[in-house]
Amino acid sequence: MSLPSASGKFPLNPVPAQAGVGLKPVHYREILETRPPIGWFEIHAENYMGAGGPPLHYLETLRLDYPLSLHGVGLSLGSADDLDRRHLTGLKELVDRFQPGLVSEHLSWCTAGGVFLNDLLPLPYTDESLDVVCAHITETQDFLGRRILIENPSAYLAFKASSIPEPEFLAEVSLRTGCGLLLDINNVFVSAENLDFDVDAYLDTLLNTVPPGAVGEIHLAGHHINRYGTEIIRIDNHGSEIREKVWALFDSALRRVGATPTLIEWDTDVPALATLIAEAGRAENFLKKFQGAAKAAKKEKALAGVG
């Protein structure tokens, strides 16, 4: 399924298969003054839905030099309620104005009966919830006039009612709606540790089922470990450096999908910009390895064709 990109003030600026970081207000001035070698920035849509003010001013300026990915947290695609048309309209206005290279949302819900719940809540994976999510994604894509990416959640419990494994659910969402996937590596790891499933089997099922090229962005983040006696639960808090096992899983995912735009996601206890740049640099080293492999494979294929 191919969707046109919306027209707007700027031409569409694709997000490269490089490492990016989240754009934080505390770093606005430093970024403008130093123009760091970052591949792209990601913003949370809801932080820029105002009518004006410093955030939009800085974003207007930075948008001229850096590609953008727009990441929504409040659309509530998994809610049984209808989508909030005011929120959807605000999202479209932002997309049309800044023309981000990528637009994404979560496989979750956060509204009920007109009440907004300040969290990304899980949903059971059933045929009914699959129909609801697909209908909401289709409505969103039609309204925006472009494809969106859907992010896999972090999980702390499993619903007894769930009848469809998460990777199969995500793959079916992509197949039905034509949406892409935002593969959050930390979320896969956190969920696997909390619910005791095999991460490699998860990736194999998901990536062997979705259409080629469905994964449009990757997220990397830190997480916190809570201990309750002998029990451990991992919390996706986006507030620390990425753990080594998550880096290893990132490497494993890239072997399957190739170099893909990758975000260093750090939303709490935001560190100095230099720390984010260092984490992005490490991700960039992984990406370069697979960019080189992709170029070599392409060259080998071309030579074989000539012969």
Task: Write out pLDDT tens, residues 59-76.
Answer: 999 999 999 999 998 888
User: Contact 284/16 with Cβ under 8 angstroms?
Assistant: no
Q: What is the pLDDT of residues 32-53, one digit of tens each?
A: 999 999 999 999 999 999 888 8
**What is the rounded distance in angstroms from the CA atom of residue 228 to the CA atom of residue 230?**
6
Beta bridge partners of 215: 181
**Does the pLDDT value for residue 7 go beyond 70?**
no
Spell out the residues 6+ positions from residue 199 whose beta carbon is closer than 8 angstroms to its own: 188, 189, 192, 249, 252
**Does the pLDDT value for residue 249 go beyond 80?**
yes
**Predicted confidence band of residue 98 (pLDDT cuts 50, 70, 90):** very high
**What is the rounded distance in angstroms from the CA atom of residue 217 to the CA atom of residue 184?**
8
- Find tokens 């009914």 and name the residue: 128
Nearest to 83 by CA among 135, 128, 47, 153: 135
Q: What is the pTM of this model?
A: 0.89
Q: What is the pLDDT of residues 192-239, one digit of tens each?
A: 999 999 999 999 999 999 988 999 999 999 988 888 878 888 888 888
User: Contact 110/78 with Cβ under 8 angstroms?
Assistant: no
Instruction: Give the fold, CATH level 3, of 19-306.
Output: TIM Barrel (3.20.20)
